Chain A
């Protein structure tokens, strides 16, 4: 069943390339629109900022703890994970509270809505457009062989069951572009661009209250950490360096 279909080069000229170009342009448009729509009341919540900074500091402590003497490390560890007023200690009751607050806070809800909308609407529109104009024919051939299970996903408009699964419709080209153009966008638009759909989708699925969880995580890893003062090693290394220098 391995017939080699010869695909018209007109497909390449009039389907694949325009589709990619259109997606890039829509992405750029979304980026600018999101910049314009960003609400001006970007006043950061003091608690959130402080928590973010605490996390950074705790992370630094863990990363470089071997460079400071044991006493200082222990003092800092107590400061962070002390049961009563340690910075990283978040009692369970507070954790639930925070999540509820996030849902009920109107501003935050609006912000998330806006972000979601700006992602969903262009995607839906483009998808509908692709389906309307570019369905019913084979658009491309995937270079590696696939199993039959992918047929329904990739060969949507093609109603022949004998065509090899490697021949896909333009819908799959659309999805390929959707996930693949992220790299291109980071090149063109810099790091923080609103087109990072895949990241956003992953964030949406894991809807946890970020700070509380990461605080707890930091506290646990800090508690586990074993301090091993690296400085004595440095003396020997300095000796070695000097020996090489002097000889």
Chain B
């Protein structure tokens, strides 16, 4: 749709827009591909057709955002919010603007306020988790990933991300939990997820490092590490045969350090 709008002549498109086809998508597509002049034309046509519409107001504010006029866009969004306090899209645009301006803490603040009301919106939780990870606030990121796992427990991506965060946090307890979540990712993906397999090996070796010298009586899960190492070897042989030696040496170094 977007590419079509870029190649067909302008007059045809304006006519089609006047007749109400795909009103929302073309201006957004034009803005996505940085064709701001086309976007301006579209928005103007829509404004003539629907002078009092909320959607057109949103598009106008979006255009201001795309042009980089942050204060005007902020004003436009605030006025839109006055009319309709609970429009999730506008709230999210505000967060996106803060993020685009580099104001990450402002983005976090807006996002938290949004989540206080719309706490079942898992996309927002995901965004917040990624922001926290980028700021290295891992405890908060862990909380967000827990929310994600709660709302959609069968998506392996969230288990994996949670395990990554736990592994990064470190500490025996977290490493054990990380290993368990890598294991659940493996289970959910049928053993084919390379990163999860590596995660299991790494967390096992990290745990062994930390418990060096203390009694290792829970040796029952050492099988998991060796199994995943074997699975990794098999996978690499199939998909990247020239890297098998690299893999072997890495795995050996992990085992040796235990």
Q: Which residues of A contact B (CB under 8 A)?
A: 43-44, 46, 49-50, 53-54, 56-57, 60-61, 63-65, 67-69, 72, 231-232, 234-235, 237-239, 241-246
Contact = CB atoms under 8 A, between A and B. Distances in A.
A57 B150 CA distance: 9
A235 B84 contact: no
5 contacts: A43-B84, A64-B149, A231-B183, A235-B180, A241-B190
Contact of B119 (A54, A242, A244, A246): A54
Contact of A245 (B180, B181, B191, B221): B191
B234 A242 contact: no
A49 B117 contact: yes
Highest count of chain B CB atoms <10 Å: which of A49, A53, A63, A241: A241
Contact of B184 (A44, A53, A63, A231): A231
Given A49-B118, A231-B181, 18 more contacts: A50-B117, A57-B150, A57-B151, A63-B150, A65-B150, A72-B143, A231-B180, A231-B184, A235-B221, A237-B187, A238-B184, A238-B224, A239-B183, A239-B223, A239-B224, A241-B191, A243-B227, A245-B234
A246 B231 contact: yes
Contacts of B146: 68, 72
Contacts of A61: 150
Interface string B200-225: 10000000000000000000010110
Interface residues of B, number: 36
A65 B221 CA distance: 24
B41 interface: no
Nearest to B184: A234
A186 B187 CA distance: 39
Nearest to A64: B153
A46 B117 contact: yes
Given A43-B84, A241-B187, A246-B230, A234 B120 contact: no
Highest count of chain A CB atoms <10 Å: which of B84, B116, B184, B228: B184
Nearest to B120: A56
A69 B85 CA distance: 36
A99 to B, nearest CB: 23
Contacts of A72: 143, 146
Contacts of A245: 190-192, 231, 234
Given A235-B224, A245-B231, A57 B120 contact: yes
Nearest to A240: B187
B172 interface: no
A97 to B, nearest CB: 21
B117 A246 contact: no
Contacts of A49: 86, 117-118
Leading 8 A-B pairs by shortest Cβ distance? A238-B183, A56-B120, A234-B184, A231-B180, A242-B227, A64-B153, A238-B186, A245-B191
A188 B211 CA distance: 65
